[in-house]
Structure formats: C-alpha cells, structure tokens
Amino acid sequence: LAYRFEEDGRSLVYASDAGYPAGGPSADVRALYHGADVLIHDCTYTPEDRAQRMARGFSSIADAAQAAVEAEVKKLVMFHYDQDYSDDVVDALAERARRLLDEGGGKQIELVPAREGLTLQI
C-alpha cells in the first residue's frame, strides 16, 4: 500500500507495509514513486530476515533501496523497523542501506533513518 501526495511541485510518497514479490516493485509501483522528493518506505527487515518472512508483507532495506534507485527519488526515509531490532541494529541497517544505495546507483539519494521526534521539510 502506498500513497503519493503532491502540492506546489513537491511530492511525497508514503509506502507502508510495502512487501514486493521476489522481482521487486512492479512497473506501476515504480511509476507511483518516480521522481518523488521524499519516499517514506517500510524498512522492516534485513534482507536475510525478509527472506524468511516473505509472506508477512513487509520490506527489507534492500527492497527500499532498490525501489528508491529505480524510481529516481531524491530522499529515502527509512521507517517501520522490526520491533525486535535494538537501536544498534537499526543504526547498522541505516549504514547498510547507505551502502546498498551507493552500490546500486543511488549515491545522489539522501538517506534519512526515521527516529523518534524526526521532522521533515518537503
């Protein structure tokens, strides 16, 4: 499930519980995300944990990074982490997501890991 909001030439996409099939997001999903100023994307799992929980309908950091790169978004905001992950694990997820973006052709994409009290300007 995802929503796109546009106003005054700016766009925000909110992709909660965005579990994709093994091939990644569909062409329709990529079109919805395309060129967004901000993509707030479910990052519930590591890729390894996601592989064991495919039926749950949530994404990994790799899914989010792939979607952001393919859709050429400007900013990826990670959110919706697994409740069993500690703050240290979430910090490591953010570092790994940055590497995945860079390695996948998304060096220009700003990465923002959601944290309590975070405020975004769009």
pTM of the model: 0.92
pLDDT for position 89: 92
Span 44-53, pLDDT tens digits? 888 888 877 7
Tell me what pLDDT residue 54 has.
Answer: 66
pLDDT > 80? residue 31: yes
| DSSP letter assigned to residue 112 | E
51 or 36, which is more confident = 36
Assign residue 13 a region: left if phi > 0, alpha if psi is -120 to 50, beta otherwise?
beta
